[in-house]
Amino acid sequence: MAEAIASRARSGSDTPPGWSYDPSSWRERIPILILALVGFGIASYLALYQLGVVRHVWEPFFGNGSERVLHSAISRLLPVPDAALGAAGYLVDAVSGVIGGRGRWRTLPWVVIVFGVAVGPLGAVSVALVIIQPLLVHGWCTLCLTSALISVLMIGPAMDEMLASLQYLKRRSSGVAEG
Amino acid sequence: MWPRVLSALLGIWLMVAPSLLHYDGHASISDRIVGPLIAATAIIAIWEITRPLRWLGIPFGLWLIFAPAFFSFPSNALVDNVVVGVALVILAFLGGGVREKFGGGWREVV
């Protein structure tokens, strides 16, 4: 085991076995982190509007669409405004996306899996809200659509790292030595 | 990648088509439900690791082709749905090549 770690450190390879690249490299993760931070900023702004801290919401295309969507009955189904939940989701994505180094698919597999699982529902809920907006509220909300696009863009690039961690856990549980 | 981007744009087109082509009722409800789903799954399928999601273009496309037959669609919505539906089915077959290697892939963990 110790020799295996030492040999890995010498070769400097964090690429999973059978892979052509390291899904945990910063080149792979930084774009997702930027998306998560932008999403967090947008969702926080919308939550502040829903809480009444910010008086007006930026809406360049759809008239009073943002106001109707952000003050709709659906947005108040839960005790906290829905944008606040979105902001929390983006924060989980950003934190679980930044922890660990280039080999984290094997050193911190559960952090990677939290990251991968957090990205999925955020995107799914965003798309569901995009469907509901015109059907029930009869309005669109530019920043909500932007946030939905960001959350969907994060899913694909997060899945490769999660697959590498799942493969690693599977190998470890079946007792295959990592070389 | 381009077949996925085109599919996503077709999904976004379906979201705005009811307003631009001035139709409502079943046709607009259908388009505003499948439009975002088509766009979202096509965007996710841009990445090689989730490329197999491109096949969802086939059921979405078939829905667009056949839904006008079951519900009463105005003629401009009908033509629009059938054209977009056929395009989505064709696009699903294009651009399936994957360059990167992912060990045993998803098959290894399910």
ipTM of the complex: 0.91
Residue B107 within any structural domain of the chain? no
Look at residue B93 and tell me if it is in a domain: yes
CA–CA dist B105, B102 (Å, integer): 5
Shortest Cα distance from A120 to chain B (angstroms)?
11
The pLDDT of residue A10:
42
Residue type for position A50: Q
Tokens of A176: 């295959």
Q: Which one of B4, B31, B38, B49 would you mutate to disrupt binding with A, by most A Cβ within 10 Å of its Cβ?
A: B49
Q: Tens of pLDDT along A46-82?
A: 999 999 899 899 999 988 889 888 888 788 788 888 8
| Paired tokens of A136 | 């029930």
pLDDT of A150 higher than 50: yes
Contact A51, A81 (CB under 8 A): yes
Q: Is residue A11 pLDDT above 50, yes or no? A: no
What's the pLDDT band for A152 if we cut at 50, 70, 90? very high
Q: Is B104 among the domain residues?
A: no
Within a domain: residue B10? yes
User: Do the domain assignments include residue B106?
Assistant: no
- Measure the N-to-C terminal CA separation of chain A; round to a whole number of Å: 8
Nearest chain B CA: its distance from A175 CA (Å): 15
The model's pLDDT over B20-73, given as tens digits with 9 standing for 90+, comes to 999 989 999 999 999 999 999 999 999 999 999 999 999 999 999 999 988 889
Chain B CB contacts of A160 below 8 Å: 47, 49, 102
Residue B110 counted as domain residue: no
Q: How far apart are CA B26 and CA B24, in angstroms?
A: 7
Chain A residue whose CA is closest to B52: A156
For residue A159, give the nearest of B39, B49, B103 by CB distance.
B49
Residue type, B40: A
CA distance B58 to B64: 10
Above 80 in pLDDT, residue B107?
Answer: yes
Q: Which residues contact A11 (CB under 8 A, 6 or more apart)?
A: none
Token code pair at residue B43:
């965007």
Nearest to B47 by CA among B88, B89, B90, B8: B8
Non-local CB neighbours of B34 within 8 Å, separated by 6+ positions = B11, B14, B60, B63, B64
Residue B7 maps to a domain: yes
In this predicted model, which residue has the larger pLDDT, A177 or A20?
Answer: A20
What is the model's pLDDT at position A76?
79
Average pLDDT, chain A: 88
Instruction: Establish if B71 belongs to a structural domain.
Output: yes
Within an 8 Å CB–CB cutoff, is residue B101 touching chain A? yes
User: Under an 8 A CB cutoff, do A18 and B49 touch?
Assistant: no
CA dihedral (A68, A34, A165, A107) positive or negative: negative
Q: Count structural domains, chain B.
A: 1
pLDDT in tens, B68-93: 988 889 999 999 999 999 999 999 99
Q: Which residue segment(s) compose the domain that B85 sits in?
A: 2-97
Virtual CA dihedral for B20, A138, A118, A149, nearest 10 degrees? 20
